[in-house]
Amino acid sequence: MDSEVASTTRCESISGLITRREGLMGGIVTALASGVVAAPAHADDFVRTSTGLKVLEAKIGDGESPKKGDTVVVHWSAYTSGYQGKRVDNTSVRDEPFVFTVGNNEVIAGFEEAVLGMNVGGLRRIEIPGELPELSYPRDRKERFTDLLSEKQSVIGIKYRYGPQPSEFGGQRALDFVLDNPTLQPFNRTLVFDIRLLNIRGRK
């Protein structure tokens, strides 16, 4: 009888985990489309790569996968997960996809690693631990910013050396705060990105 109870308990636990994960995946899709702050994921929902990047597959795409030299088109949203859960940006809300060339040193390392592992049509959530600054935006403002103005001068005024750069003033302020504030612990600088790979330009 005890074995039957244990088996039933395990089945209920697995069923609950599957239901929770399905709800999480749906929440990621909704958050990216609507601009709301996405629900947090559990630590065991992520797979940690060799670099320390944490990856959660919300949807595996059925298209091609990019390689270095490809120009990719993505929608992305980001949050300061480690500090107050502030939204950094969401390109889906404005329907302004972000375009960059893989392997051309145009984006932060964690973002590029995530996109390289995706297929067109896929949706990924990544967590860049604050303890791994090499995957994130430079903390040194001289390394983070160029001496050029952003294309959206009225909104930002200063251009990031590595994308993706927030287009909203409040979003960049939130991001710069966690990067610049010397009183924060490394885990407070953790960032979460939701990324949808829309297209690889030039591919048929």
Predicted pLDDT at 15? 47
Query: What is the band of 18 on the pLDDT scale with cuts at 50, 70, 90?
Result: very low
Query: What is the band of 176 on the pLDDT scale with cuts at 50, 70, 90?
Result: very high
Contacts of 158 (CB under 8 A, 6+ apart): 145, 149, 150
Please write the tens of the pLDDT for every residue from 128-154: 999 999 999 999 988 999 876 655 544
What pairs with residue 128 in β-bridges?
191
Q: Is the pLDDT of residue 10 over 90?
A: no
- Of 28-32, 119-123, 144-148, give the lowest mean pLDDT range: 28-32
Q: Buried (b) or exposed (e) across 159-189, using 16+ Cβ within 10 A?
A: bbbbbbbbbbeebbebbbebbeeeeeeeeeb
Q: Is the pLDDT of residue 169 over 90?
A: no
Q: Averaged over 168-186, what is the pLDDT?
A: 92
Please write the tens of the pLDDT for every residue from 42-52: 667 889 999 99
Contacts of 200 (CB under 8 A, 6+ apart): 63, 64, 66, 70, 71, 72, 73, 120
Query: What is the pTM assigned to this prediction?
Result: 0.79
Predicted pLDDT at 156? 45
Look at 155 and 87; give whichever has higher pLDDT. Answer: 87
Cα separation of 194 and 197, whole Å? 10
Q: Averaged over 71-75, what is the pLDDT?
A: 98
Residue 149's nearest CA partner among 160, 163, 141 is 160
Predicted pLDDT at 202? 74
